[in-house]
């Protein structure tokens, strides 16, 4: 079955960087984009960006530009999210989620399925 397995929890100091991994199995890795989504404690889901199937192009939400890098290693079917200059507000659960899309009667739609189990990143001094 399709599965996304993320790396374990991290504790980082302000100003540091964190790199979260997401290993895929059960499907053809190079046929799907991957989204990264985060959720701060008690808050909603926030889209951070996505990486294309070959890993040579990414798109990021405006608020993360300059601090985020999304990459992938197609040889190991693993995606990576790196966030730098961490601050306390970056404390959150970070999810990877496989992208799918299709078109019905000329109208396109995207969805995220499945999701990784989430990685808690805690930024504390």
Partner 1 sequence: SSELTQDPAVSVALGQTVRVTCQGDSLRTYYASWYQQKPRQVPVLVIYGKDKRPSGIPDRFSGSSSGNTASLTITGAQAEDEGDYYCFSGDTSGNIWLFGGGTKLTVL
Binding marks (x or -) toward partner 1, 58..97, rule CB under 8 A?
A: -xxxx--------------------------------x-x
To the nearest whole angstrom, how small is the minimum distance from the Cβ of residue 124 to partner 1? 20
Check residue 53 for interaction with partner 1 (CB under 8 A). no
Phi and psi at 120, nearest 5°, equal: -80, 125
Judged by beta carbon, residue 16 or residue 40, the one nearer partner 1 is 40
* CB of 100 closer than 8 Å to CB of 89: no
Check residue 44 for interaction with partner 1 (CB under 8 A). yes
Tally of residues, the chain: 125
Considering only the stretches 10-18, 23-31, 55-63, 76-84, report the one whose residues sit in contact with partner 1 under the rule CB under 8 A: 55-63
């Amino acid at each position: 079955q399709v599965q996304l397995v993320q790396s374990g929890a991290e504790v980082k100091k302000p100003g540091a960087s964190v790199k979260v991994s997401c290993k895929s199995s059960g499907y053809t890795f190079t046929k799907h984009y991957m989204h990264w989504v985060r959720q701060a404690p008690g808050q909603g889901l926030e889209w951070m960006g996505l990486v294309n199937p070959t890993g040579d192009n990414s798109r990021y939400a405006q608020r993360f530009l300059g601090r985020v890098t999304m990459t992938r290693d197609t040889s190991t079917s693993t995606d990576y999210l790196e966030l730098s200059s961490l601050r306390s507000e970056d404390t959150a659960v970070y999810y990877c989620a496989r992208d799918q899309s299709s078109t019905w009667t000329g109208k396109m739609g995207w969805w995220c399925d499945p999701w990784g189990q989430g990685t808690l990143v805690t930024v504390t001094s």
